[in-house]
Chains A and B, each alone.
Chain A
Amino acid sequence: DGGITQSPKYLFRKEGQNVTLSCEQNLNHDAMYWYRQDPGQGLRLIYYSQIVNDFQKGDIAEGYSVSREKKESFPLTVTSAQKNPTAFYLCASSLGQGTAEAFFGQGTRLTVV
């Protein structure tokens, strides 16, 4: 089945550590996105990529990094510079053109311990 797979579903990190969240899609979509969701809040865009080897900062990119070496993959690294990383992270993809909708993964819940 086509879709977006995020892993792991739950992730625990010690303060000062970097962690990488995985996002893979087999929908042949050009565009991919990372959002952060906090309780009672909407989705805030961290990074997005419209094509392989290219990506742009979203509204809250500080403390995060990404890469887009393959069309199918868009991993997100939460660095130690991110002061409040505990959140629910959502990856999405789309055709990146016209009237296309975004498809979402199941999310990764990151907790700093």
Chain B
Amino acid sequence: QSALTQPPSASGSPGQSVTISCTGTSSDIGTYKYVSWYRQYPGEAPKLIISEVSKRPSGVPDRFSGSKSGNTASLTVSGLQAEDEADYYCSSYTVTNIYVFGTGTKLTVL
């Protein structure tokens, strides 16, 4: 099972919006709604920010939103803030009953 494909980097200025893509196949993202997104600050454990494609856990700002079309999922961060600078990973359940992570995207707030 190959990793899901994410752009290595993304950037935006404070207040702007940025979208990070996560491309898989019909064996993972294309079949299941079990796509989630995680934010990781340097030296810290990842934190869940989106589950089941577009659900935000309690405490996650509504600036974070998720969507899916075909084999590609997307995370949009609106109203960028300095604290959003981090690494972001997507994850999906797969037809072989295992999970796979994306390659990760480093988000820079300019």
- Do A and B pair up? The answer is no
Tell me the A residues contacting B by CB distance below 8 Å: none
Tell me the B residues contacting A by CB distance below 8 Å: none
